[in-house]
C-alpha cells in the first residue's frame, strides 16, 4: 500500500556528473500493489462480483487472503511468512525482521540499535559461509526495526572447484545438490544468539563512527530537519538511527549485550522467506534451525502505537484531520496515558496571525543548499485495508491523488516554478502513521510564487474535486495498472515481493493474490461515484482548505540556501512562510475545466499516408544479422530511410513494453565556435525536449493526458556519446478505447523524430535553462560534485563537453540552435530504435510492422548548405578520451566550507572503454595479443591465441569480472585489514562508443584519514599488478556475482533495452547479438591470466588524485574515525 522503502547506498561511480534529463511525462499513480500468483483474472473477477451481489448492501465484505501465503509461529514465539515466487528462478531471499529500532532506545542508548546491527551480523561466522556462493547479505536499522537479510541461490555452487558455472547458466536445480537455505537460516538465527567479543564490538564501534561522518551529507541533514519538524512531539524527532557520537563512544560491551538481550528474542522477530522454494521444506527448515532458541519472558506492553501493531515504533502522534483530529488516541485501543510518549516539541510553533493559532512552521537554511524545497504534512492513523469497503475508500483516494498530481505536473510544465512537485498519501509503518504530504523543489528566487501556486492547486482539488472525465480517465488507468500486476503474477522480483509483504503485514492490510486484488479494484472502480471521490478529495486537502483553522497541518517545512548564485541573501523565515500560506488560502480559485484528450495522435488518413511512405521504401529495408538476432529471439532491420529497429518479444513483464530511441553522438558533437551545434546545445536540447511535449495540432497538456490515459512514461537522457529516449508503457489498449500502448508509444516516437512535428517552445527552453543551471550550481557546491568536476576537467583537458552545463553556456544557446542540433542528431541514419516487451494482442511480426510504419516513415533531415549532417561513425572517427599527465601537480586538494567535517578521495586513470577499445583506437584484445607475442619473440614455442579472446564480448566480460575482483580486494584490504574507510569503490567508465575510458576509485574517510585511505587504495591497485595478483578464488567469486546478476536481469525489459542498444551501430562493432547470447559462457572461460594481462592496460602509474574535504577547515575532524563495515544505512526519506 505504501511505496517502497529502498536502502540507500552511496556510490559515486563516475569521475564526472553526467548531464541527465530525468523529468518524466507520466502519471504518478500508486495502484494497489498486492502480488503473488493466484487465480485466473477472469474467474477472480467473476467470483468477486458474485460475492458483492449475494451479500446485503450494508454487510461488511472481508477481502480474501492469498491462499498460498503460509504463515506460522514456533513455540518460542518466532513468527514466519513464506511465499513461493518464480522470479528470478533458482534464488530466494530470507529477511529476519527484529522489532527493535532507534525509537526503542532509551535516552542513554541513542545509536545502540545500529551498533548492535553491526556487531551481530558483521561478527557472524555463519554469515561468512555465504561468501563466494553468489549470495548478497546486508542489514539496516530504521526507526521501527532492524532487518538482516540474505539473497542466495537455491543451491550451493558445489562442484565448482574447476570454476564451472554450468548450474548457474542452466538455471535449474541439480539433483542431490546441497541447499543454500539452511546456511542462510543459520546465519540469520545466529543474529538472535550472537556473541559479543570485545574486539568485534570495538571494531564495529569505529565503523559506526566513521559511517556517521560519511552519511552526513546536506541531503541527509535536510531529511533530518524535515522529520524533526514533522514528528516534533515524539521520539522520532530525536532518535535518528545513526545516534549520538558521545554515547556511542561511551558504551561498554555489557551495554550492547543488554540491548541485544532485551530486544533480540524469538517472540520479537518475524522471518520472511520469498523465492523459488518448496514451502513445506522451508517450514521444516525454520522449525529445525530456529526452535533451538529458548522462549523469552514477555516484553512489557507499550501504551503507544505498538498497541495497534508491534511493527510500529513506540510513539504517539498528534493527528491532523479525520476522526482523531487534534488528539493522540490509538485507533482500536482504549484511551492511553500519553505522558511518556508525547514530548515537548522539538520544533517550536509559530503564531499564525489571522487566527492567532500556533502552526508548526520550520525554516532550515544552509550554504550548501542550492534549491528551495517546501513540505506540508498532515498525519493520520494507518487504516487497515481488510474489507471491500476499505479497499473502495483506498481506490477513491488514489483517484483523487492521481488527478491532483497530473494537474501539478501540467502546472509545473506551463510555468517554470517547480523542478519537482508531488502530493501524496502514504502508509508509513516506520513512522506509525499515514502521511499526507505536499513536497516540491523550486528556484529559491521564486519560492513564494511556487508555494502559493502549489497550495492554491491543492485547495482547488479540495474545494471542487475532480471532473467526470478525470474520474473516467484515472479509473481506467488504475484498472490498467492493476491488470498488469495481475498478469505479472509471481514474476515480480523477490525483493519487491518481500518489501511489499513486510509493509502489508506491518499495516494490517489483507495480502491478496494479484488476480483477486485486480477483481476488487475493478469492482470498486465500476461502482465509485464522482461525489464519493470528491468527498475523499476534500478530506485529503482538509488541512489546506481553511489554512490556520482546524484541522491544522502537522508541520510545514521550508529548506533554502542562504545565498542566491549572485550573492544576494535568500529572505525567508517562519513568519514569512505563514504569510505566503495566508495569501494562497485567500486566492480566488476556479474549478478545473474539462479537456478533450486524443485517443490517437495521428488521424486515420495520416496513418494511411505513413503506410504509403514506408511501403515506398520497403525494397530498401534489409535484415541485420538475422541468424545472430535469432539467437536472442530478436528481429533487426535497417529500414529504407536509414533508421535501424530491433524488436525483442519478452513475456516476463506481462503486458509491459519498453522502447529506447538512441541517437549516436550526444554531447560529444558539441563544438566551440560552431553556429550549428554550439556548446550546450545538445544538453539543453534534451532538457527542452523533456520539458516540452506539444505535437501539432495537440497542446502539451493534451499530449500529457494522452500519456496519462495509457500510463506511458518518457525519459530523455543526454550523455557524452548518445541521446537516449526511454519509453515504458502497458502494451494493451486502455479500457476506454484507442490504439494499443505499443502503437501509442510509437506514435510519440514518430512525432519526436519527424522534422517539424515536435513544437520547440520558448517556455520549455527557459525551464530547461533553469534546470541545467540548478544542476551545475548543486554540483559545484557539493564536496563530491566539485571534486568530480575538477577531475573531469583534468582528464579531458578542460573539455566543456564532459563537464556540467553552466548557466553561462546554457544562456548562450538559442532556440534555433537547439532545433537545428536536435533535428540533425535525430536524422534516421543516426537513429536506432529498440523495442522489448510482452506485445499483448500483437504478434512479433505485427510489432515489427508497426515499427517499420512509424519509424520507417520518418523523413531524413532536409539537406541545405548550412545543415549539419550527423551519421553513425566508425569508432576510429569518434573522439578519444585522453588522460593527460601532470607530474608536477599529481595530488589536488579542494575544500568546501561546511558546518560538519567530511572527506572523500579519488583516483582516476586511463582504461579501455566498456567495449574494449583503447584511446588510440586499438582493440584491447589486439594489445594483449601484441604483448604476448612480444614476450615470446625469442621463444621457439608457438603461441596459441585463445579463441575466447576473439569473441566480441570477451573484453566486456573480462572487464566486468576485473571490476568485481578489484572491489572485493579494496574491501578486504582498505576496509577490513587497514580499517581506514567506510566505503571504497572501483568503477570503470560506462562509455562504449567513445574510444578509451577511465577507472575511478572513490574512498570515503574522515579528513584526518583521507590521505592514508587514498594511499591504501593506490597500494592495493599496485599489488594487483605485482606481488598479489588476482587469485582463482577471487575470480570464481566474482564470476558467480557477475553471471548471476546478468542472468537475473534478463527478465527485465529495461535490461534488454540496455543490452540491445548499439547492436546495429557501425560505431560499436563489439556490441553484437552474440555478445548478449554468449556473455555468460565467455565469462565462465575467463582465466586469472586474462585478468592479469588486462590489468596492464589500467594505467596505475599515471593517475590523477584528489582529496576533497568539507568543514570549517581542512583539519576540522576527529583523528580516529576508522571503519570496516558492509551493512547499509537507510534513508530517512519516505519512499
Catalytic residues: 117, 204
| Dihedral over alpha carbons 394, 396, 399, 403 (to 10 degrees) | -120
Q: Measuring CA to CA, which residue among 513, 736, 421, 422 is closest to residue 32?
A: 513
DSSP-derived 3-state class of residue 1105: strand
The C-alpha atoms of residue 1112 and residue 1109 are separated, in whole angstroms, by: 10
- Cα-based distances in Å from 1113 to 785, 898, 899, 1005, 1007: 19, 9, 10, 16, 10
- Give Dmax (Cα) for the chain: 97
- Cα-based distances in Å from 923 to 930, 1068, 1079, 1082, 1100: 11, 12, 18, 18, 19
DSSP-derived 3-state class of residue 37: coil
Q: Give 637's strand partners.
A: 623, 645
Q: Measuring CA to CA, which residue among 377, 309, 307 is closest to residue 347?
A: 377
Phi, psi for residue 147 in degrees, rounded to 5: -120, 135
> Any idea what DSSP says for residue 877?
G
Bridge-based pairing of strands 1103-1111 and 891-897 is parallel
DSSP-derived 3-state class of residue 264: coil
Cell numbers found for residue 810: 546554457
Number of H helices, E strands in the chain: 36, 25
The C-alpha atoms of residue 212 and residue 1121 are separated, in whole angstroms, by: 9
The C-alpha atoms of residue 716 and residue 419 are separated, in whole angstroms, by: 15
**C-beta separation of 375 from 438 below 8 A:** yes
**HSE-CB for 265 with a 13 A CA cutoff:** 16
- Cα-based distances in Å from 931 to 937, 1093, 1096: 10, 9, 10
One-character DSSP codes across 509-578 = -----HHHHHHHHHHHHHH--HHHHHHHHHHHTHHHHTTTSSSPPSEEEEEEESB-TTS-B----HHHHH
> Any idea what DSSP says for residue 622?
E
The C-alpha atoms of residue 76 and residue 63 are separated, in whole angstroms, by: 30
Please give the sequence-ordered ranges of beta strands (E in DSSP) within 942-1067, or none if there are none. 983-988, 997-1005
The helix-helix angle for 198-214 and 112-122 (nearest 10°) equals: 120
CB atoms within 10 A of CB 348: 13
One-character DSSP codes across 348-361 = --EEETTTTEEE-E
Name, in order, each residue with C-beta under 8 angstroms of 444's C-beta and a sequence gap of 6 or more. 370, 371, 372, 560, 561, 564, 570
**C-beta separation of 946 from 1089 below 8 A:** no
| Geometric angle at alpha carbon 1057, from 13 and 600, rounded to 5° | 125
DSSP-derived 3-state class of residue 54: helix
**C-beta separation of 264 from 191 below 8 A:** yes
Please list the alpha-helical segments (H only) found in 873-937: 924-935
Query: Counting every residue, how long is the chain?
Result: 1135
Cell numbers found for residue 469: 472525465
Cell numbers found for residue 10: 552511496
DSSP-derived 3-state class of residue 442: strand
Tracing cell 498530481 back to the chain, one arrives at 405
Amino acid at each position: 500500500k505504501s511505496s517502497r522503502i529502498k536502502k540507500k547506498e552511496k556510490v559515486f561511480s563516475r569521475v564526472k556528473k553526467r548531464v541527465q534529463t530525468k523529468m518524466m511525462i507520466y502519471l504518478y499513480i500508486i495502484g494497489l500493489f498486492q502480488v503473488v500468483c493466484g487465480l485466473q483474472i477472469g474467474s477472480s473477477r467473476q467470483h468477486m462480483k458474485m460475492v458483492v451481489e449475494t451479500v446485503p448492501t450494508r454487510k461488511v465484505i472481508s477481502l480474501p487472503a492469498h491462499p498460498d501465503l503460509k504463515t506460522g509461529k514456533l513455540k518460542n514465539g518466532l513468527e514466519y511468512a513464506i511465499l513461493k515466487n518464480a522470479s528470478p528462478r533458482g534464488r530466494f531471499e530470507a529477511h529476519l525482521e527484529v522489532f527493535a529500532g532507534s525509537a526503542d532506545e532509551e535516552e542513554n542508548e541513542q545509536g545502540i540499535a545500529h551498533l548492535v546491527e553491526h556487531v551481530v551480523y558483521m561478527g557472524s561466522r555463519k554469515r561468512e559461509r555465504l561468501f563466494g556462493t553468489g549470495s548478497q547479505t546486508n542489514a539496516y536499522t530504521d526507526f521501527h526495526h532492524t532487518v538482516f537479510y540474505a539473497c542466495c541461490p537455491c543451491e550451493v555452487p558445489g562442484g565448482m572447484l574447476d570454476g564451472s558455472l554450468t548450474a548457474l547458466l542452466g538455471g535449474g536445480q541439480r539433483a542431490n545438490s546441497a541447499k543454500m537455505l539452511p546456511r542462510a537460516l543459520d546465519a540469520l538465527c545466529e543474529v538472535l544468539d550472537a556473541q559479543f567479543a570485545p574486539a568485534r564490538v570495538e571494531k564495529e564501534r569505529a565503523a559506526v563512527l566513521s559511517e556517521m561522518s560519511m552519511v552526513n551529507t546536506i541531503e541527509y541533514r535536510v531529511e533530518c530537519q524535515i522529520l524533526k519538524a514533522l514528528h516534533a512531539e515524539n521520539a522520532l524527532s530525536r532518535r535518528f538511527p545513526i545516534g549520538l557520537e558521545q554515547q556511542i563512544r561511551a558504551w561498554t560491551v555489557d551495554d550492547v549485550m543488554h540491548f541485544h538481550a532485551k530486544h533480540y528474542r524469538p517472540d520479537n522477530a518475524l522471518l520472511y522467506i520469498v523465492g523459488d522454494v518448496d514451502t513445506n521444506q522451508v517450514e521444516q527448515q525454520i522449525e529445525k534451525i530456529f526452535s533451538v532458541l529458548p522462549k523469552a519472558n514477555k516484553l512489557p506492553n507499550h501504551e503507544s502505537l505498538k498497541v495497534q501493531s508491534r511493527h510500529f515504533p513506540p510513539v504517539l502522534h498528534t493527528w491532523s484531520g479525520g476522526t482523531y483530529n487534534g488528539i493522540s488516541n490509538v485507533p482500536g485501543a482504549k484511551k492511553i496515558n500519553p505522558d511518556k510518549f508525547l514530548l515537548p516539541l522539538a520544533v517550536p510553533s509559530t503564531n499564525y496571525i489571522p487566527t492567532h493559532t500556533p502552526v508548526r512552521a520550520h525554516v532550515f537554511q544552509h550554504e550548501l543548499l542550492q534549491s528551495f524545497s517546501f513540505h506540508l504534512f498532515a498525519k493520520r492513523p494507518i487504516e487497515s485495508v481488510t474489507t471491500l469497503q476499505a479497499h473502495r475508500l483506498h481506490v477513491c483516494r488514489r483517484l483523487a491523488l492521481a488527478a491532483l498530481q497530473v494537474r501539478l505536473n501540467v502546472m509545473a510544465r506551463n510555468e517554470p516554478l517547480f523542478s519537482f512537485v508531488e502530493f501524496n498519501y502514504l502508509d508509513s509503518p516506520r513512522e506509525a502513521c499515514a502521511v499526507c504530504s505536499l513536497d516540491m523543489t523550486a528556484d529559491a528566487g521564486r519560492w513564494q510564487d511556487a508555494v502559493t501556486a502549489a497550495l492554491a492547486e491543492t485547495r482547488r482539488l479540495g474545494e471542487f474535486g475532480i471532473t467526470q472525465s478525470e474520474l473516467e480517465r484515472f479509473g481506467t488507468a488504475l484498472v490498467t495498472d492493476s491488470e498488469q500486476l495481475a498478469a505479472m503474477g509471481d514474476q515480480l522480483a523477490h525483493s519487491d515481493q518481500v518489501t511489499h509483504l513486510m509493509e502489508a503485514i506491518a499495516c494490517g492490510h489483507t495480502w491478496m493474490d494479484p488476480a483477486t486484488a485486480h477483481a476488487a479494484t475493478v469492482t470498486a472502480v465500476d461502482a465509485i461515484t464522482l461525489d464519493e471521490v470528491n468527498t475523499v478529495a476534500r478530506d485529503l486537502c482538509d488541512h489546506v482548505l481553511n489554512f490556520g483553522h482546524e484541522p491544522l497541518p502537522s508541520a510545514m517545512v521550508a529548506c533554502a540556501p542562504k545565498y542566491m548564485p549572485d550573492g544576494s541573501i535568500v529572505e525567508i523565515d517562519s513568519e514569512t512562510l505563514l504569510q505566503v500560506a495566508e495569501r494562497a488560502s485567500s486566492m480566488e480559485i476556479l474549478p478545473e475545466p474539462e479537456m478533450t484528450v486524443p485517443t490517437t495522435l495521428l488521424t486515420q488518413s495520416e496513418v494511411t499516408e505513413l503506410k504509403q511512405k514506408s511501403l515506398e521504401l520497403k525494397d530498401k529495408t534489409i535484415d541485420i544479422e538475422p541468424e545472430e538476432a535469432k539467437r536472442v529471439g530478436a528481429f533487426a532491420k535497417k529500414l529504407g530511410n536509414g533508421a535501424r529497429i530491433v524488436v525483442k518479444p519478452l513475456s516476463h513483464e506481462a503486458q509491459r513494453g519498453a522502447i529506447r530511441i538512441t541517437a549516436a553522438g550526444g554531447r560529444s558533437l558539441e563544438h566551440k565556435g560552431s553556429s550549428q551545434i554550439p556548446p550546450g546545445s545538445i544538453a539543453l536540447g534534451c532538457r527542452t525536449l523533456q520539458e516540452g511535449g506539444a505535437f501539432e495540432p495537440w497542446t502539451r497538456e493534451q499530449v500529457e493526458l494522452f500519456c496519462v490515459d495509457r500510463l506511458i512514461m518518457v525519459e530523455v537522457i543526454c550523455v557524452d556519446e548518445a541521446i537516449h529516449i526511454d519509453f515504458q508503457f502497458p502494451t494493451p489498449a486502455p479500457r476506454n478505447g484507442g490504439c494499443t500502448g505499443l502503437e501509442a508509444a510509437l506514435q510519440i516516437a514518430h512525432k519526436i523524430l519527424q522534422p517539424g512535428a515536435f513544437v520547440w517552445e520558448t517556455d520549455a527552453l527557459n525551464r530547461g535553462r533553469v534546470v541545467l543551471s540548478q544542476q551545475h550550481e548543486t554540483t559545484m557546491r557539493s564536496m563530491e560534485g566539485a571534486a568530480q568536476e575538477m577531475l573531469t576537467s583534468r582528464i579531458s583537458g578542460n573539455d566543456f563537453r564532459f563537464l556540467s552545463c553552466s548557466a553561462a553556456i546554457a544562456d548562450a544557446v538559442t532556440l534555433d540552435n537547439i532545433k537545428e542540433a536536435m533535428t540533425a542528431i535525430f536524422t534516421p541514419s543516426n537513429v536506432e530504435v529498440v523495442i522489448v516487451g510482452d506485445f499483448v494482442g500483437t504478434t512479433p511480426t505485427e510489432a515489427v510492422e508497426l515499427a517499420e510504419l512509424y519509424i520507417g516513415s520518418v523523413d531524413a533531415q532536409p539537406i541545405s548548405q548550412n545543415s549539419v549532417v550527423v551519421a553513425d561513425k566508425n569508432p576510429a572517427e569518434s573522439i578519444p578520451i585522453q588522460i593527460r599527465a601532470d607530474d608536477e601537480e599529481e595530488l589536488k586538494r579542494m575544500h568546501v566550507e561546511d558546518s560538519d567535517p567530511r572527506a572523500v578521495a579519488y583516483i582516476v586513470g586511463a582504461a579501455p572503454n566498456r567495449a574494449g577499445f583503447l584511446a588510440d583506437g586499438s582493440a584491447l584484445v589486439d594489445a594483449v595479443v601484441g604483448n604476448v607475442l612480444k614476450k615470446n619473440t625469442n621463444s621457439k614455442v608457438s603461441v596459441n591465441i585463445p579463441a575466447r579472446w576473439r569473441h566480441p564480448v570477451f573484453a566486456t566480460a573480462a572487464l566486468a569480472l576485473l571490476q568485481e575482483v578489484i572491489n572485493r580486494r579494496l574491501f578486504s584490504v582498505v576496509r577490513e585489514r587497514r580499517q581506514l574507510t567506510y566505503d571504497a569503490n572501483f568503477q570503470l567508465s560506462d562509455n562504449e562508443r567513445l574510444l578509451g575510458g577511465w577507472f575511478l576509485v572513490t574512498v570515503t574517510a574522515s579528513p584526518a584519514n583521507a590521505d592514508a585511505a587514498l594511499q591504501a587504495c593506490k597500494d592495493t591497485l599496485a599489488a594487483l599488478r605485482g606481488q598479489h595478483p588476482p587469485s582463482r578464488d577471487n575470480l570464481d567469486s566474482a564470476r558467480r556475482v557477475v553471471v548471476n546478476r546478468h542472468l537475473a536481469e534478463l527478465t527485465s525489459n529495461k535490461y534488454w533495452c540496455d543490452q540491445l542498444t548499439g547492436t546495429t551501430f557501425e560505431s560499436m562493432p563489439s556490441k553484437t547479438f552474440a555478445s548478449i547470447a554468449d556473455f555468460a559462457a565467455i565469462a565462465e572461460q575467463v582465466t586469472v591470466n586474462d585478468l592479469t594481462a588486462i590489468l596492464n592496460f589500467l594505467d596505475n602509474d599515471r593517475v590523477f588524485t584528489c582529496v576533497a574535504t568539507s568543514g570549517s577547515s581542512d583539519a576540522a575532524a576527529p583523528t580516529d574515525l576508522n571503519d570496516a563495515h558492509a551493512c547499509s544505512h537507510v534513508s530517512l526519506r519516505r519512499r
